[in-house]
Amino acid sequence: MENRIALELKNISKHFGKIQANKNVSLDVREGEILSLLGENGSGKTTLMNMISGIYYPDEGEIFVRGEKANITSPKSAFSYRIGMIHQHFKLVETFTAAENIILGTAEKYDLKYVNSRVSEIAAKYGFDINPKKMIHEMSVSEKQTVEIIKVIYRGADILILDEPTAVLTPQEIEKLFTILRNMKNDGKSIIIITHKLNEVLAISDRVSILRKGEYVGTVNTSETNEKELTEMMVGAKINLEINRVKIEKKNPLLEIRDLTILKDDGSIAIDKVSFYIRSGEILGVAGITGCGQKELCEAIAGLHKITSGSIVHGGESIVGMSSKDIIRKGISMSFIPEDRLGMGLAPSFSITDNMMLKTYGEGKTPFVDRNSARERAKALIEKLGIVTPSTETPVRRLSGGNVQKVLVGREIESGPNVIITAYPVRGLDINSSYQIYDILNEQKAKGTGILFVGEDLDVMLALCDKIMVLCHGKMMGIVNADHVTKEELGLMMTGAVNLNEEQKDKNFGIARDSQLTPEQWAEEEKKAGKENR
Amino acid sequence: MTKAQNSISVKKEPLFHVSKNTVLPFWQKSAFLSGGVLAALIIIALISVLLIKQNPFKIFSAIVKGPFLDLWSYLQSAAMLLGFAIAVVPAFKMKYFNMGANGAVLMSCAAAIVCMKYLPKVNIGGSAMPNWLIMIIMTVAGIIMATLYSLIPAIFKAFFDINETLFTLMSNYIAAKFCGYLIYIMDESKSGVLNIVNRISHKGWFPKVGGNNYLLSIIVVLIMTAFMAVYMKYTKHGFESSLVGESVNTARYVGINDKKVMLRTIALSGALCGILGVLYAGSISHTLTESIGGLGFTAILVAWLANFSPLIMVAVAFLVQFLQTGTNYVATSLSLGSTDFSSICVGIMFFCVIAAQFFIEYKVELTSRGREFFHIKGNVKMVEGGIH
Amino acid sequence: MIGSFNLVGLIVDAIAIGTVYLLGCIGETLTEKAGNLNLGIPGIMCCGALGGGFGIWLCSDKCTDLAASPAYMYVLVSILCSMLFAAAAGLIYALFTVTLKANQSVVGLVLTTFGIGVFRFFAKKINKDIIFSGAHYYFKNLFGYEGDNIFGKIFLSHGILVYLAIIIAICAAFLLNKTKVGLNLRAVGENPATADAVGLNVSAYKYAFILIGSSISGLGGLYYVMDKSDGTNFTEAAIDSFGWMAVALVIATMWKPLVSIFGSILFGAFYVMPAYLPLSRNMNKLFAIAPYVITVVVLIVIRFMNQKNNQPPASLGLSYFREER
């Protein structure tokens, strides 16, 4: 028997300035059902859901909740319709406890004892694991997500919207989340889950609705579809999902890192005795849950983060203690994309031209900057990578995500580096732009550049990288050949359930047999490193 | 369950919808800004009618007349305001909230006045120190003093991340009280007011340019302005300063030592304050007081409204000073007995221009309920931001 | 020497000057907890002082015979007017920073200039004779204590606003830490997007606490004029330096109202200290820099005992725009 329709959207449209985020979208979700909302990045999924949860107000169209026309003007009025949204970027107050976050904005009294007991009740009912007295800033990502979900259930929501809930979780945590979602579904709740991961869509949902470029494509029953069909609906034309891995003949280790230990700014350990090496013409992937020391590792190699102990050797010469300027001069280049794309490597209000000369402005003997040659280079880059921009003088923050990314990666490559460190280079990009970036990286690899690729999508890493190093809480869990490993194995290593270092002690992961330095020189390096940091 | 359903509040759609604007073309920006200025003038007119019970046209004609009565004095005041704004610009470009221009100028002025007062008494080989040497020493002393004084909060900001806004605010008062102490020491009559130094000998007084008392400071400030315009836009140092202000992480990543750049930039800002202080001592007031009229704060507003562009700052500074001088004249000529009318008017002007900037940055549209509310029929939209 | 050091006098004076700081500081703390850095406090204090004078003028105008009007009427009307004027100044600040999303520091600076100007301009219009003629006495010495007992001098010899300030500080601490409104307010200041997402009206909270904070700060101006300087300083805006000190005190007391009660007395002690030290006149002049130097030192010390719980509200100084993309 079909269940009642809980939520129905009719012809919803929304635009931001010139950008049409949603156009004539109609879909519905029933009670006791999990609906996947599938679409590429930038296809308008989040905008659509934000209109249901009252963050935005639709320009046109109607929303019906349990059969009645609803006017959702604010998050509060969304709650009054018993709609709750779990945002991708958690909306939690870091300095509050879980319980304080949960009652925030409710009409309830400030009685934490009562809240704690009710939270425990909800946790027991659906299978959550939570300590309501814990501060948010002390929690892991998955714990924070738990707080977010309990928060909306606590308010009596029975239409739940989850925006990319699995993006930051390990495969094991994802399984746990799915169990909870199924428990909630059996309790009669309606769940909309936004994602672009096809396997998850197939695993969890009853039906799938697909958006493409802000427009509604259609809805299919999960049991009657497959990955291929969904991909076609999502991207339109059929595209080749294969990334061509260029095979390069083995060369000398270019960058060798041994026993590297780095502390975070707050004094806790970010990277714990990690050793690895990158050969020229090789892409080494770094897998791990966000915040496992990837940021610190990249910054340390680029000379931006202090090293506690260990050695970094580039082309047979130690670069520990060198200034970042000298490291750039040695041909090590970094394009780091933290959560906010423009945070490092680019100056958002500067023009493309000015961003082009960030690394080269100091050249020449005059006290003046040479803007003309930078403008020429900017023009060349715009042409070569097909960057969409009104002019070379447009501030980069006015460009779209993919174009910003192209400016950043393009500039790095233009300087002719021999090592590229790149973290999350395709975060937030659509498929086409992502592939362009992969192509650029492969092109560089073919030229003999060594690439350190910090990524999050395991499928992409398996296809693109030659080897993958897995980090878990700053410890290296092993380095595996991308051809001989599965996603599940990587997932187990990411959570620390499997540690190849322990299992295969004889293998000496991360130590190159044909190192550029002799064992004596390494001993020397270690001695020096020890002295420097004492 | 039914209870929850009953509690559904039927909220009304808001009347207006606000969204971020695209970049407006120049004429539209200017139109909004002129609108702001016009609104300010209307409010000032209303206030004059209500409070001083005067015909607003009489007041406006007085405002316009004011600066021309003593044109050179007006030009000099405007130039000094511009000078302060130019001096804080490098700091603000770096997102360093430097409120301490007043203090730095005072310290420089104090150093120069001390030189002016005591150096003529120094004997070199039996004869008095030549006047040109006095002038050089006082200039150097003033600039060094202001530079060092500005560097103190910058050092604490760079190495210990101490809030520079409050540190520089406090440094203003420290400078003022310190000058109070110096005045007390130097003033033989112990009246707390320092008489004009070297009134008769004119030792250490800067020469007049073309026989004009005011021209020297105006020329110096204009040179400072030209220098800063070039410095910020075309030099490597200026590029580094704006990059540090734009994104410290990016600056570090390209190998810039952000602490060094911060100290260098603040030193420059301090040195420019030093020049202003020396001008006060050698060319304008020839004496030391505990305050220099709070120009530093107005200058921050001038710089901010001009979006830190030195050339626009010239126009803004001369306009703001025009209003200030004009309203001051209104106060005296209409015997209000108070010059504070001018700070009210200047405040209103700033408020209105800030409001105008909101409309440049954001687009306000009527929602469908808003259209009904204001009885606008059809699918009319308010003026949208132009497409670039 | 030590025998002649008047410690009791110092403490009494410190409390007196500290009350100006305390009122300013509590007001600014509440404003900053809503995520707004209000650098207009000096201007707002001036408006508060002006409002107080206006209130007294209002009373005396209504009752031509000053002596006939009951004292509590003067105090009450004056306090209400003071808060009203300060709140009006706060409303300008809120309008510009919350609704028009302008730069908070810039608006604060304009408000300071504007507020001081308004104060000076209108202070001249109010007949000072009324205030000189004794109305300010109603603000002083609430318990009428005249004795020489140390306890009495320290605790009983102050004016009504001193006790009111401490009560307000305690209420503010209770509100922030023990009530739902306080929890909501802190959420708005820490993370407005979150507060918005859970259905709190961010703008309403910001407006409410900018206005409440401003009216409390305004009382600092009233206190300075009526009590601390005996109604004689009605034309002088020495208030601005007190306003900045109050803003500094917020950081120094780590946004904790209870700490600011003691912090303000300590800052007050530094301010009046030179008068209690056996100094030559020259040195006395030089010592006028002491309170400001010490403020800076305190800011530095606080920075070094940096911990998770003495951080400013995370979104302080940023304006909130829901549709930011």
Q: What is the 3-state secondary structure (H, E, C) of B285-311?
A: CCCCCCCCCCHHHHHHHHHHHCCCCHH
Between CA B191 and CA A402 the distance in angstroms is 70
Q: Judge contact between C48 and C217, C-beta under 8 A.
A: yes
Within a domain: C8 = yes
Structure tokens at B26: 């120049």
Q: Name the residue among C179, C184, C322 with its Cβ closest to that of A104.
A: C184
B282 and B388 both lie in a single domain: no
Query: How far off is chain B from A59, nearest CA to CA, in Å?
Result: 9
B218 and B355 both lie in a single domain: no
Between CA C273 and CA C14 the distance in angstroms is 8
Question: In DSSP terms, which residues pair with A336 in a beta bridge?
Answer: A423
Query: With contacts defined as CB-CB under 8 Å, which chain A residues touch B246?
Result: 347-350
> Cα-flanking dihedrals φ and ψ of residue A168, to 5°?
-105, 10
In the 8-state DSSP scheme, what is residue C98?
I
Region A271-277: mean pLDDT is 90
Angle at B308 between CA B302 and CA B310, to 5 degrees: 85
Q: Name the residue among A76, A101, A137 with its Cβ closest to that of C199.
A: A76
B249 and B373 both lie in a single domain: no
Within a domain: B1 = no
What pLDDT score was predicted for residue A332? 82
Segment (H or E) for A489: helix A487-494
B341 and B244 both lie in a single domain: no
Region A103-107: mean pLDDT is 85
B142 and B282 both lie in a single domain: yes
Q: Where do runs of H (alpha helix) occur along B247-291?
A: 248-253, 258-279
Q: Which of B88, B338, B345 would best serve as a mutation to test chain C binding (most C beta carbons within 10 A)?
A: B338
Region C196-213: mean pLDDT is 92
C279 pLDDT higher than 60: yes
B185 and B307 both lie in a single domain: yes
Do C194 and A92 make contact, defined as CB atoms within 8 angstroms?
yes
Contacts of A414 (CB under 8 A, 6+ apart): A377, A381
Between CA C3 and CA B112 the distance in angstroms is 43
Considering only A333-342, A439-448, A493-502, C180-189, which range has the smallest mean pLDDT? A333-342
Query: With contacts defined as CB-CB under 8 Å, which chain C residues touch B297?
Result: 109, 112-113
A310 pLDDT higher than 60: yes
Give all domains of chain A, ordered by start, each with its CATH number. 5-235 (3.40.50.300), 240-331+421-534 (3.40.50.300), 338-416 (no CATH)
Structure tokens at A124: 């027991």
Q: Judge contact between A7 and A28, C-beta under 8 A.
A: yes
Q: Name the residue among A17, A73, A324 with its Cβ closest to that of B255.
A: A324
The percentage of residues in chain A with a pLDDT greater than 90, rounded to a whole number, is 22
* Mean of per-residue pLDDT scores for chain C: 85
What pLDDT score was predicted for residue A474? 84
Per-residue pLDDT band at B13 (split at 50, 70, 90): low
B227 pLDDT higher than 90: yes
Query: With contacts defined as CB-CB under 8 Å, which chain A residues touch B250?
Result: 343-347, 358
Between CA B64 and CA B319 the distance in angstroms is 11
Region B247-270: mean pLDDT is 91
- What confidence tens digit (pLDDT) does each residue in B60-96 have? 888 888 899 889 999 999 999 999 999 999 999 999 9
Within a domain: C115 = yes
Do C193 and A91 make contact, defined as CB atoms within 8 angstroms?
yes
Considering only A451-455, B302-306, C65-69, which range has the smallest mean pLDDT? C65-69
What pLDDT score was predicted for residue B111? 96
C172 pLDDT higher than 90: yes
A239 or A457, which is more confident: A457
Range of C219's domain? 2-310
Structure tokens at A230: 């969904």
Query: With contacts defined as CB-CB under 8 Å, which chain B residues touch C300?
Result: 156, 160, 162
Structure tokens at B331: 């106060």
A11 pLDDT higher than 60: yes
Query: How far off is chain C from B166, nearest CA to CA, in Å?
Result: 6
Query: How far off is chain A from C171, nearest CA to CA, in Å?
Result: 17
B243 and B376 both lie in a single domain: no
Considering only A24-28, A279-283, C302-306, C307-311, which range has the smallest mean pLDDT? C307-311
In the 8-state DSSP scheme, what is residue B280?
I
- Closest residue in A to B364 (Cα) is A17
B142 and B207 both lie in a single domain: yes
Range of B15's domain? 10-54+334-388
- Closest residue in B to C294 (Cα) is B170
Within a domain: C323 = no
H helix count then E strand count, chain C: 14, 0
B220 and B302 both lie in a single domain: yes
Region A180-205: mean pLDDT is 88
Do C191 and A93 make contact, defined as CB atoms within 8 angstroms?
yes
Region C226-246: mean pLDDT is 73
Between CA C114 and CA B345 the distance in angstroms is 8
The percentage of residues in chain B with a pLDDT greater than 70, rounded to a whole number, is 90
What pLDDT score was predicted for residue A286? 93
Query: With contacts defined as CB-CB under 8 Å, which chain B residues touch A374?
Result: none
Most confident range (mean pLDDT) of A424-428, B351-355, C8-12 is B351-355
Query: How far off is chain B from A98, nearest CA to CA, in Å?
Result: 24
A74 interfaces chain C, CB cutoff of 8 Å = yes
Region A301-311: mean pLDDT is 86
Subunits with 3+ C-beta pairs closer than 8 A to A: B, C
Q: What is the domain count for chain C?
A: 1
B248 and B370 both lie in a single domain: no
A72 interfaces chain C, CB cutoff of 8 Å = no
β-pairing, A475-481 with B16-20?
Answer: unpaired
Q: Which of B253, B261, B264 would best serve as a mutation to test chain A binding (most A beta carbons within 10 A)?
A: B253
Provide the residue count of chain C.
325
Within a domain: B148 = yes
Q: Judge contact between A416 and A363, C-beta under 8 A.
A: no
β-pairing, A215-221 with A317-318?
Answer: unpaired
B215 and B363 both lie in a single domain: no
Within a domain: B145 = yes
Per-residue pLDDT band at C152 (split at 50, 70, 90): confident
- Closest residue in C to A76 (Cα) is C199
Do C198 and A75 make contact, defined as CB atoms within 8 angstroms?
yes
Per-residue pLDDT band at B134 (split at 50, 70, 90): very high
Query: With contacts defined as CB-CB under 8 Å, which chain A residues touch B388?
Result: 390
B364 or C231, which is more confident: B364
* Mean of per-residue pLDDT scores for chain A: 84
CB-facing half-sphere around the CA of A256: CA atoms within 13 A: 21
Per-residue pLDDT band at B387 (split at 50, 70, 90): very low
Q: Name the residue among B160, B178, B354 with its Cβ closest to that of C300.
A: B160
Considering only A453-462, B299-308, C81-90, C168-177, which range has the smallest mean pLDDT? A453-462
B228 or A270, which is more confident: B228
What pLDDT score was predicted for residue C231? 61
Q: What is the domain count for chain B?
A: 2
B50 and B76 both lie in a single domain: no
- What confidence tens digit (pLDDT) does each residue in A205-227 have? 999 999 887 889 889 999 998 87
CATH number for the domain harbouring residue C232:
1.10.3470
Between CA A90 and CA C129 the distance in angstroms is 61
Query: With contacts defined as CB-CB under 8 Å, which chain C residues touch A16?
Result: 323, 325
Region A102-129: mean pLDDT is 88
Structure tokens at B156: 């604490």
> Cα-flanking dihedrals φ and ψ of residue B31, to 5°?
-60, -45
C125 interfaces chain A, CB cutoff of 8 Å = no
Do B247 and A57 make contact, defined as CB atoms within 8 angstroms?
no
Query: How far off is chain C from A14, nearest CA to CA, in Å?
Result: 12
Segment (H or E) for B342: helix B341-361
C259 interfaces chain B, CB cutoff of 8 Å = no
Q: Which of C191, C309, C316, C322 would best serve as a mutation to test chain A binding (most A beta carbons within 10 A)?
A: C191
Query: How far off is chain B from C193, nearest CA to CA, in Å?
Result: 16
Between CA C170 and CA C260 the distance in angstroms is 10
Amino acid letter for position A434? S
Between CA A380 and CA A395 the distance in angstroms is 17
Within a domain: B324 = no
